[in-house]
A and B are shown apart, each in its own frame.
Chain A
Amino acid sequence: MWRFIITLAVFLGPPVLASAKPPELTIKDLAGRTHTPWSDEKIKAVVIAFVSTDCPIANFYQPSLRRLSKEFAEKGVAFYQIHPNPDVAPEDAKQHFRDFEITVPVAIDREQRLTKKVKATTTPEVFVLTPDGKTVYRGRIDDTYTTFGKRRSAPTRHDLKEALEAVLAGKKVEVPVTKSVGCRIFIEDK
């Protein structure tokens, strides 16, 4: 199963302008599997989750991501996990995929193109994209973590879930931006 996954390349189309035509989003893995979610008309939203093999907070959220991706898969939401660290070894990403029982495609952002484009800063950090090319939500998955080392016993805000429910109901996302607690993404200047 992990064979599909992926290591690792993310291709993006040209800059997205406000237009009716969905932006191009191609996520390709080394096994040759190409994901072009917007070519499927049933897809109503895409969730890009920036993750890491060794950020404890990002890893803590893997079970939540798995549950959410399962819950929303049949409602037309495609989840992807992206490693923004271009130096992650494919073997490590595969091991991480197995250890955390990840069920969605994972890619390594070798050029940090996607990372830079959406201006991701943290792992974990999620972006909800819609077919009109907009980012309708960015930030945390929920508010379990309140700061470094401090966790609630249960979240009081389910930000990603609420954003997806709003999108699917054709409503405006009430809180479109939140701050995610986690590990800083290092951006390579090239």
Chain B
Amino acid sequence: MIRIPVLLSLFTISSMAETTFNDNIAPLIHENCTGCHRPGQSGPFPLITYQDVRKRSGTIEEVLLDRYMPPWKPVNENIHFANDRRLSDEEIELFSAWVEAGTPEGDPEKKPVLPDFPSTWYLGKPDLVLTMKGSFEVPAEGRDIYRSFLFPLQLPEDKWVKAVELRPKAKSSVHHALFFIDSSGEARKDDGKDGQAGFRGMSFLRGQFTAGGDPVAGAFGGASGLGGHVPGATPAKLPGDLAMFLPKGSDIVMQTHFHPSGKKETEQAELALYFTDKAPDKNLVPIQLPPVFGRTARIDIPAGEKNYLVEDRMTLPVPVEAVLVGGHAHYICRTMTMTATLPDGKVMTLLDIQDWDLDWQDRYQFEKPISLPAGTVLKSKITYDNSAGNTENPFSPPRRIKWGQESTDEMGSITLTVIPKNKEDAPALTNAQRSHLVQSVARRVMPEKEKMEVQSYDSNGDGLVQENEVPARFRRQILGRYDKNGDKALDQEEQAELQKGLNALRSLLTR
């Protein structure tokens, strides 16, 4: 091959020099594809050797041009992510040039060194390996399956978790899995209720939400979360001294999304845990907007609605550093954006997904932590397309879709995980979230305006508020709480108490 004088432009060099596997393509593939496309990992075929890549060169070129691979959803312009897997246009052009040139191998003397991956657990020897309770048969075909499984744990002491790593058995069918901590014992009760290992939905989270549990404590990537197993994301230990809190006596629940793959498989996953002895100096605090996977947002999308919007916002009471961001929704979600409006008016886009795909629910780690001063307003915007034109719509013809735990229901939230700049600010941040949650819930159950005055309830004017005069929607709650003497009516004294409650609610909402 003729060497081009260095003086010539780069463009000339790249267009004249022959693109070969050994010189150009092996580094590109090994760096960006082989992590998953190797035996034992989630990729359906290996991409390691020259023959592996040559044989699939047409397919690889198509998925690169389509940007289906490597999987990466955010399209933020000004914020860089540490785990960004996107290829540059030049890298894709390089691959195309190689295909165009007839996929030459290149100088046999320059065979690439094959990448060396640990053969067992990616992160090395785990501190504890758990096995899923029972085994679950994944059928060869049919709808996607969402199912939660129990990893019984109940350790006698609190632990700090640096990382989790999943090894699924049903490798072809497992699409992704999210891990949750259940300290309520609900998951144990639900497990196997329908005669098969595991249970449907995430009702164990409801227990934590309504039974006074703290949905913002000790979480990572969601309410009581413990991270996830996502195709294309290599397991990693949290940086620095960061760790996730695993309270004693709790179990781990894995919510798994299966794509039937064409063959029957049996799932009985193993989960490796990596601990650290020390509690972190500062805690990760996930801020979920809207909270509880969008439950408080009363998602209710009419059939045919093309552009349904869910929004939420929260003001940061203290300065924080944002470390990662990710979203959760189901099939008909289309876009997801989170912005931060700084006190000086500057707007930063923290997450921008324009083509939501529930298959790739990664968490995106900022290249450098992003400083957000106190007074920054976080806004999340999530849109849904419930029309027949949306091929992802699980219903044909479209149906009304509401918030729910089935995959054909919808959810929607964006979680920004932050670290308070000052350690002593952590309670203020937690309080702000709690009050945001309370407000969201209050808004959700808020009576219509005129119902905020107890007097307006007494429609027969007898001075008492009888059972049937209380709005039906709140009858049980109101009588249960305020009808102290149990006579199914509120006397003047009881009405005064109710009015105090309504006033408190009103002040929460107008704060």
Contacts and interface: CB of A to CB of B under 8 A. Distances in A.
B34 to A, nearest CB: 15
B262 A60 contact: yes
Given A56-B172, A60-B262, A100-B263, A186 B58 contact: yes
Contact of B58 (A56, A63, A154, A185): A185
A183 B66 CA distance: 13
B396 A154 contact: yes
Contacts of B393: 153
A178 B331 CA distance: 26
Contacts of A85: 55
A184 B60 CA distance: 9
Given A63-B141, A154-B396, A146 B58 contact: no
The CB with the most chain B CB atoms within 10 A, among A61, A62, A189, is that of: A62
Given A62-B263, A153-B143, A148 B63 contact: yes
Interface in B46-62: 51, 54-59, 61-62
A63 B140 contact: yes
B23 interface: no
A149 interface: yes
Contacts of A183: 56, 59
Nearest to B102: A189
Interface residues of B, number: 33
A148 B396 contact: no
B45 interface: yes
B52 to A, nearest CB: 10
B359 interface: yes
B44 A54 contact: yes
A153 B44 CA distance: 22
B497 to A, nearest CB: 51
B394 interface: yes
Contacts of A147: 66, 68
A149 B357 contact: yes
B270 interface: no
Given A146-B391, A184-B59, A186-B58, A62 B66 contact: no
Contacts, number: 73
B392 interface: yes
A117 interface: no
A87 B140 contact: no
A171 interface: no
A148 B396 CA distance: 21
A157 to B, nearest CB: 12
A150 B391 contact: yes
A99 B51 CA distance: 25
A93 B62 CA distance: 25
Contacts of A156: 396
B261 interface: yes
B261 A59 contact: yes
Interface in A144-163: 146-150, 152-154, 156
A17 interface: no
Contacts of A153: 143, 331, 393-396
Contacts of A186: 54-58
A100 B140 contact: yes
Given A62-B262, A63-B140, A186-B58, A54 B396 contact: no
Contacts of B55: 85, 87, 186
Interface in A127-185: 146-150, 152-154, 156, 183-185
A62 to B, nearest CB: 4
Contacts of A189: 102
Contacts of B260: 60
The CB with the most chain A CB atoms within 10 A, among B140, B357, B392, is that of: B140
B314 to A, nearest CB: 33
B66 A184 contact: no
A55 interface: yes
A148 B54 CA distance: 20
Contact of B262 (A61, A87, A149, A154): A61
Contacts of A148: 62-63, 66, 68-69
Interface in B339-394: 357, 359, 391-394
B170 to A, nearest CB: 12
A71 interface: no
B496 to A, nearest CB: 54
Interface string B145-177: 000000000000000000000000000100000
Contact of B44 (A56, A61, A99, A101): A56
Nearest to A63: B141
Nearest to A154: B396
A110 B357 CA distance: 39
A85 to B, nearest CB: 7
A54 B44 CA distance: 6
Contact of B45 (A54, A60, A100, A154): A54
A152 B393 CA distance: 7
The CB with the most chain A CB atoms within 10 A, among B44, B57, B102, is that of: B44
Given A60-B261, A100-B262, A148-B66, A55 B58 contact: no
Interface in B437-464: none
A87 to B, nearest CB: 7
Nearest to A85: B55
A35 B125 CA distance: 53
A59 B263 CA distance: 8
Interface string B383-418: 000000001111110000000000000000000000
Given A101-B263, A149-B68, A153-B395, 16 more contacts: A55-B45, A56-B172, A59-B261, A60-B262, A62-B140, A62-B262, A63-B141, A100-B262, A147-B68, A148-B66, A149-B359, A150-B357, A152-B392, A184-B61, A186-B55, A186-B57
Minimum-distance CB pairs A-B, first 9: A184-B58, A59-B262, A148-B68, A63-B141, A54-B45, A62-B262, A184-B59, A183-B59, A99-B263
6 contacts: A56-B261, A62-B263, A87-B51, A148-B66, A149-B357, A153-B331
